[in-house]
Structure 1
Amino acid sequence: MSLLLSDAKPASFAGCAFTLLAGLALAGCAVGPDYRRPDAPPVDRYTAQPLPTGTAATKAAGGDAQRFLQGRDVPARWWTTFGNAELTRRVNTALEHSPTVASAQAALRQAQENANAARGGLFPSLDAGAGATRQKQSAAQSVGPGGRGPFTVYNASVSIGYTLDLFGGVRRGIEAQLALADYQRAQLDTTYLTLAANVVTASLQEASLREQLRATEQILDLQGKSLQIARQQQQIGSKSLSDTLAVRSQLAATEATLPPLRARLAATRNQLATYLGTTPAQLELSPLMLDAIGLPRDIPVSLPSGLVEQRPDIRAASAQLHAASAQVGVATAAMLPQITLSGSAGSQALRAGDLFSAGTGAWSLGLGLTQPLFHGGELLHKRRAAQAGLDKAVADWQQTVLVAFQNVADALQALQYDAEGLAAQAAAEDAASQQLALVERQFQLGSTGYLNLLDAQRSYQQARIALIQARVARLADTAALYAALGGGWRSDADMAGPAAGTSTPPTTSH
């Protein structure tokens, strides 16, 4: 309903009413649940068994032992721990130029502006208006006979309106928008982390493929020499044609492994171009060699409680949970009474020049109360939907936390087994190398045939490739652990300003 105030002192009465109701609005409680993040899993470690102090060591390249530093935070720019300037340059370039980062930054700015817009609901609205109306009154409307001829009414006014937030619906809406801004901030951190991890992983893949190509080409060189010897011996009659064909067949089989390796290398570089925000034709990268990438020896392992605070996807899930909690309050407040205050002051005249002259003033003050009575169950079901959304957000948060703990546990255990695997592969490669050297001497002395030589060469090639892959696995799983622990940064401080979306990750660890 609406009530027009027409007392002798309307402005004074309305002012008192406005002050009283505004005070009630500010003092009123906000309906709906107050946000509280669920408790993290009550554990003090990630794996089923206590984490060892470090991994095994081997004398092979990349076989240094890694030491786990429990309770330490991941460095903000963790990719620098690999000690390769080209790798660092690539990650920094990607963070500066990737469209995915620009998109996430824009999404954060959009969410921040929406939150700022929602705050406007706490303040009165003030609007100015002006207009002119051409009209004619009928005989029934006018005092004189025949009605009043066409005339123009000019008006100018200022109106004010205010809805009291008695039950906190507006405040809960602002809370939801702020939570969505927190979600986009966490999404931006996720974009930084994912992009950095992708660049590191792709770069390690590139180094691995280059090393595999180099190893394959060396094997081809050995097999080429064996083919020359086989042809010479065939010419002098000491070996048969079948022996030469066997060597040639093995050489062709090894050559056939080169095109797939080169194709994978080209695809990896094309993927790197996308990560770095350029096209494959414009990509300028210095070759990255495996021996130039150092294995980080000291590996920080954040506490489980710190993982919940630091990992961006968990923070994003927390923000979504916060927004869902606030939406329950918004839906609840929509079912309760709403009180609005309104007022206007202006002037009406038959000539524009007479506006605001004596006798043309007009004003109004209003107090309105709205109580929803029947909306076909719409408001009730919206509140139930909001509660279901809250239940879903709780379950999603719990699932996100469980997956995060699984990721860390997988990476920690992978590093332990990678070290053992590298030691085994190094031993296998050393044995294959010695076996090949022995068979080559025997072949030169005529005590063994081509088939034994070819088999030894094939075993050595496979052992070398497996050793390269084992070295890269340690590096890749180290990067995976850094990413699983949350990447080491939180951009809250850098994201505080209105242009925060353009900032880069901070250089200090969280």
Structure 2
Amino acid sequence: MNTLRKALLPALVPLLFAACTTVGPDYHVPDNAAVKAQAANGPLLGTNNPAVSIAEVPDGWWRLYDDPKLDQLVQQALVANTDLRVAAANLKRAIAVYHEVEAENLPEARLSAGAERGQIAGEPLLKEEKIPVMNFGDVGFKVSYLIDFFGKLARADEAALAGAQASQAALDQARIGVVAETVRAYVQGCAATHELTVAEHQLALQSRGVELARKMVDAGRGQPLDLLRAQAQADVLRAALPRFKAEQEGAAYRLAVMLGKPPSATSQAEYACHEEPRLRQALPVGDGAALLKRRPDVRQAERELASATAKIGVATADLYPSIRIGASAGFTGILDHLGQAPTAHWGYGPLITWNIPTSGTRARVHGTEAGAEAALAHFDGVVLKALRETQSALSSYTRELERTQALRDARDKANEVARQNRQLYQAGRSPYLSSLDADRTLASTEASLAASESQVALDQINLFLALGGGWQNAPKVESRTMSEQAH
């Protein structure tokens, strides 16, 4: 016994010293990560436009429109949307996995009991006669605890916790998408109504032009050809109406689905509005540092990097022995004698197992290291994508505002030209073609202006989506189990 102890002691001492640390790299965001770049954390380009401000993005950005109906729709979507239900279920699963991994740190206990009728061989017991058939029983209890000398369980906990945090960020990201798509569907319905109103107004004006041309022909002061041209222009304007009505219906259908309802379960009147909602202040955008802290996809990618880094430690720990301390007790023997002293057994002590490291084990370590490198590259890509999306959305918004103002000036001028040409035509001082051309220009300019105003509203939503707000203080997502769905 002393000889065995002397032989094992030199081998165990290095292991005990190695147990003072947890194998694998300790996680921190690398200094060369894109998220730490000075340019990524500075002010956003284009914030000198008076339509935007560097104020912090509010939690509920859609409330800046001061539209109670829109706020109600967003709250409904945040509770009942099916995409959010999927993300919430994924988060529950990730949390369950974390608790499962965490339970590995607790002692493992096992209770067993069994009975059988049979016959044992006599020769191993040095008996030449046949042993009679008997009833055997076994009752036992075992408890063991894995000593985490090399931090495998600690690293597994880190990886599982980071995975659950990444799932939480994914749920937050899903909330951002649901808010943006709900507001977008509502605004598209408003925009379609606005453009339909403009088109109907132009059709009404052209219809009066048709009546004017008919009166001029009846009075002998106009040409029948002028009447046909006026009627053709009215038909062109009338042909645009079904498209806007289809956009109204499509927006209502999309909005219903965002609320977790079938498209046929709601009416267009329930979501009706006559023009796009307007912001009551300059659009707040903050800066790059606040953006990267706010966007859940950046947080998700960072947590995935943390999980991948912790998995290196899990794989590295397999290079070292596993040490478990345990104890067992029970009764084994003939069923009638079970519980008596001759059938009792017990024991306690450590159990050391070591799968000698092979090239396969080291390959797993290298594989997890490569996974961490890929996670870092993905993290950098998400950061750069967040900055690019925000800058592109900000540029599109401010440039479309400039275009809208130019179209508004053009519309005012075209309106005055059309008015004067109608007066000249009625007075017989100008041909009808001049009046018709002026009306066409006015109709085209007003349609372009209405479309541009709609695009401004959509660009606002795209910018808010890129800024990554709207997930904070969200209501709890509805959860439906299989039994609830059956009823």
Q: Do both proteins adopt the same fold according to a TM-score greater than 0.5, normalized to the shorter chain?
A: yes
Deviation at 1:89, TM superposition (A): 1.1
> 1:446 aligns to what?
428
> 2:95 aligns to what?
112
Deviation at 1:131, TM superposition (A): 0.4
Indicate whether 1:321 and 2:321 are aligned: no
Indicate whether 1:173 and 2:178 are aligned: no
CA distance in 2, matches of 1:101, 1:196: 11
Q: Partner of 1:412: helix, strand, or coil? A: helix
After the TM superposition, which residues 31-430 of structure 1 pair with which residues of structure 2 at under 5 Å, given as runs? 31-37=23-29, 38=33, 39-43=35-39, 44-48=41-45, 51-52=47-48, 54-55=49-50, 66-68=51-53, 70=54, 72-284=55-267, 285-290=270-275, 293-351=277-335, 354-373=337-356, 375=358, 377-430=359-412
Question: Structure 2: which amino acid aligns with 1:343?
Answer: A
Q: CA RMSD in A?
A: 2.7
Structure 1 residues 501, 330: closer, same or farther in 2, change over 3 A? Answer: farther
| Contact 1:26/1:165 (8 A) holds in 2 | no
Q: Partner of 1:137: helix, strand, or coil? A: coil
CA distance in 2, matches of 1:462, 1:219: 10
CA distance in 2, matches of 1:91, 1:307: 22
Q: Partner of 2:183: helix, strand, or coil? A: helix
Deviation at 1:48, TM superposition (A): 4.9
Q: Partner of 1:245: helix, strand, or coil? A: helix
| Contact 1:412/1:481 (8 A) holds in 2 | yes
Indicate whether 1:487 and 2:484 are aligned: no
Deviation at 1:478, TM superposition (A): 2.6
C-alpha offsets along residues 116-145 of structure 1, whole Å, 9 cap, x if unaligned? 110111122001110012221223134544
| Contact 1:40/1:305 (8 A) holds in 2 | no
| Contact 1:332/1:383 (8 A) holds in 2 | yes
Question: Structure 1: which amino acid aligns with 2:433?
Answer: L
Structure 1 residues 118, 110: closer, same or farther in 2, change over 3 A? Answer: same
| Contact 2:176/2:469 (8 A) holds in 1 | yes
Deviation at 1:462, TM superposition (A): 1.7
Pick the aligned partner of 2:457 from 475, 490, 499.
475
CA distance in 1, matches of 2:238, 2:265: 30
CA distance in 2, matches of 1:202, 1:36: 41
Question: Structure 2: which amino acid aligns with 1:337?
Answer: P
CA distance in 1, matches of 2:279, 2:243: 28
CA distance in 1, matches of 2:309, 2:112: 39
C-alpha offsets along residues 381-412 of structure 1, whole Å, 9 cap, x if unaligned? 21111111111111111111111111222233
Q: Partner of 1:431: helix, strand, or coil? A: helix
Structure 1 residues 337, 358: closer, same or farther in 2, change over 3 A? Answer: closer
Q: Partner of 2:119: helix, strand, or coil? A: strand
CA distance in 2, matches of 1:118, 1:320: 17
C-alpha offsets along residues 6-47 of structure 1, whole Å, 9 cap, x if unaligned? xxxxxxxxxxx9xx99x9699632211111124522135344
Deviation at 1:286, TM superposition (A): 3.2
Deviation at 1:378, TM superposition (A): 2.0
Structure 1: which 5+ residue stretches go unaligned?
4-16, 56-65, 504-510
Question: Structure 1: which amino acid aligns with 2:21?
Answer: C
Q: Partner of 1:368: helix, strand, or coil? A: strand
**Scaled by the length of structure 1, what TM-score is found?**
0.84
Q: Partner of 1:238: helix, strand, or coil? A: coil
Question: Structure 1: which amino acid aligns with 2:387?
Answer: F
CA distance in 1, matches of 2:472, 2:101: 25
C-alpha offsets along residues 65-113 of structure 1, whole Å, 9 cap, x if unaligned? x351x2x421111111101111111111111111111111111111111
The more displaced of 391-400 and 443-452 is 443-452
Question: Structure 1: which amino acid aligns with 2:42?
Answer: R
Question: Structure 2: which amino acid aligns with 1:34?
Answer: D
Q: Partner of 2:426: helix, strand, or coil? A: helix
CA distance in 2, matches of 1:237, 1:394: 81
Pick the aligned partner of 1:28 from 20, 42, 51.
20
The more displaced of 482-491 and 315-324 is 482-491
CA distance in 2, matches of 1:442, 1:389: 77
CA distance in 1, matches of 2:462, 2:417: 36
**Scaled by the length of structure 2, what TM-score is found?**
0.88
Deviation at 1:191, TM superposition (A): 0.8
Q: Partner of 2:133: helix, strand, or coil? A: strand
Structure 1 residues 101, 481: closer, same or farther in 2, change over 3 A? Answer: same
> 2:483 aligns to what?
none
Deviation at 1:448, TM superposition (A): 2.1
Deviation at 1:363, TM superposition (A): 1.6
Structure 1 residues 29, 296: closer, same or farther in 2, change over 3 A? Answer: farther
The more displaced of 335-344 and 87-96 is 335-344
Q: Partner of 1:129: helix, strand, or coil? A: strand
Deviation at 1:169, TM superposition (A): 1.3
C-alpha offsets along residues 435-456 of structure 1, whole Å, 9 cap, x if unaligned? 1111111111122223222222
C-alpha offsets along residues 217-245 of structure 1, whole Å, 9 cap, x if unaligned? 11111111222232333344433332222
Structure 2: which 5+ residue stretches go unaligned?
2-8, 480-487
CA distance in 1, matches of 2:472, 2:28: 21
Deviation at 1:374, TM superposition (A): 5.6
CA distance in 1, matches of 2:17, 2:427: 101
Question: Structure 2: which amino acid aligns with 1:294?
Answer: R
